[in-house]
Amino acid sequence: MQHDKDIVWIDRWLAGDQQAFRQLVVNHKDMIYTISLNILKNAEEAEDVAQMVFIKAFQKIDTFKRTALFSTWLYRIAYNLSISELRKRKQRFIEVDGLNFEKLAQTMPDGETDGQDKEEEANQLLYAMERLEAEERGLISLYYIQDQSVEQISTITGLGQSNVKTKMFRIRKKLHAMLQTEKIH
């Protein structure tokens, strides 16, 4: 397992240093918010979920087994709480900020662009992503925006690694089909 720089802060917090947990929040608040925002597409709800994530982490820090990175454990909480919140309100949209379009475009079937302007392609891709199911958007967000590995996504979502790979392949194929349909119209 790769070295987890957060272990020092966890150990200090468990030893009674109340400021150490604040440092964990500072280290991860932006990413937790981004995960929640990418799934919920609502800044206010994403902020609420991010707060719930840290409250849950604060309450359950003793259950962190240290077999994975602390960030992976925290991202799993964020992913699960965001999906739960989304299910509660049954809304199926996502906003994707900072998408690494180049990386995603290279993994799409055919992997080619036919000379379209990159900005137009990115907008079409974002529009197509908004039409994905919430869990599909979550997986795409974790892989392309949060730059998580298949192994980390497996840990975060509770899906097997082969299941993550299969779902990612199908999602890319679905996005490609959506983009092809848009080009025709």
Alpha helices in the chain (DSSP H): 6-14, 18-40, 43-60, 70-89, 101-107, 118-130, 134-140, 150-157, 161-184
Q: Where do the domains of the chain lie, and which CATH numbers do they carry?
A: 6-89 (1.10.1740.10), 101-184 (1.10.10.10)
**Average pLDDT value for residue range 104-128:** 60
- CA dist., res. 121 & res. 164, Å (int): 25
pTM: 0.55
Q: Quick: pLDDT tens for 137-151.
A: 888 888 877 778 899
